[in-house]
Amino acid sequence: MSVMAIIQNPETEEEKLFNIPLATESFFENFWEPLAEELELQWIPAFLSGIDICNDDLDDIFSELDKLEILAKKKLNHIEFEQLDERINILREKLPDAFKRNNAIIFIG
């Protein structure tokens, strides 16, 4: 299984194709989750079981991703960090695009 972001109830072809892969379930459990728990984050640990987010949640999520990235750079080896950091950067870049429609809901899980 994988952890990814998709648009709930897509209304356009573009929304149907929206998909941001974050990590395999095992990579998330082994790297994302322990770092998020160490930082006592709220949003990122919920990604594994699945969570709906709206545009108003982006600032909090991006703040947590910043903290996760800083700790990951200190704690993970180069290859692990690069893999995690690449997905964080893709999420930062593409997640705002999902909210072109004001009432869009994104599922991350």
| Structure-token pair, residue 28 | 């998330």
The per-residue pLDDT for 102 is: 86
Q: For the chain, how far is it from start to end, CA to CA, in angstroms?
A: 10
Residue 5, beta-bridge partner list: 20, 108
Average pLDDT for 28-51: 97
Residue 52, beta-bridge partner list: 107
Q: What is the pTM of this model?
A: 0.92
Q: Express as a percent the part of the chain with pLDDT over 70.
A: 99
Distance CA 106, CA 52 (A): 5
Q: At CA 42, angle to CA 27 and CA 49, rounded to 5? A: 50
The per-residue pLDDT for 36 is: 98
